[in-house]
Structure 1
Amino acid sequence: MEQAVPTSPTRLKNLDLPPLPNQPAAPASSPDDESKSHTINQVTELQESLLAYIQRVDTTKSEYIKISKENELLLDYINNLMEASGTAVQTGTPEPAKKKYLDH
């Protein structure tokens, strides 16, 4: 008489059969795997923090450009006001101060 072949998954799990020759055995957790996993986690965290820094740099750069344009506009406005009031001095980078020497 033939033996009955188990068909339910629980019966198949209860059989201690070796893996098929073409299939790799289930990987065992080793210290190398844990080290690799830890390294991957560190790399992922560093990538995320790098992205945060890049976004911060981009934000700061755009704010700098905006403020620089506002400063140019204010400088032009002040120069125009001074020209209109008759003052010939331009604002911006001042000329070096001239030293006055007294004769004795």
Structure 2
Amino acid sequence: MSCSPHYWSLRCGRLERESGDSSALASQLREKLQHEMTLTNHWRQQVDLRHCRMSLFVAELNHYNFAGEPLKGSLVSLKGRHKTRPQVIDPLLPPPLSGLCGSLLAPSA
């Protein structure tokens, strides 16, 4: 969107008009900001979902070993690293959980 010779800036949480007539420009800017807010909200939801899934996956690994037997203590950090086996899980791959924040599933033996 070209705003010359009129341009706007976002400062201190409010829009300030720098120059020129604002009627048409304000309407365009409102639409642009609404679109960006929609994208931002979608991104936040994705981040929340990813964090939730990763947290559940780490909690699952903290309670079960790879044979499905309960563990004593925690072996996995929040970064998804195993103390005795480095790079056991890839933190970039989503864990196989069912549902948005489904119940913890014991790994199959």
Q: TM-score, normalised by structure 2?
A: 0.41
Q: Which has the higher helix share?
A: 1
Q: Which has the higher contact order (CA 8 A, sep 6+)?
A: 2
Choose 1 or 2 for highest CA Rg.
1
Q: TM-score, normalised by structure 1?
A: 0.43
Q: Which has the higher strand share?
A: 2
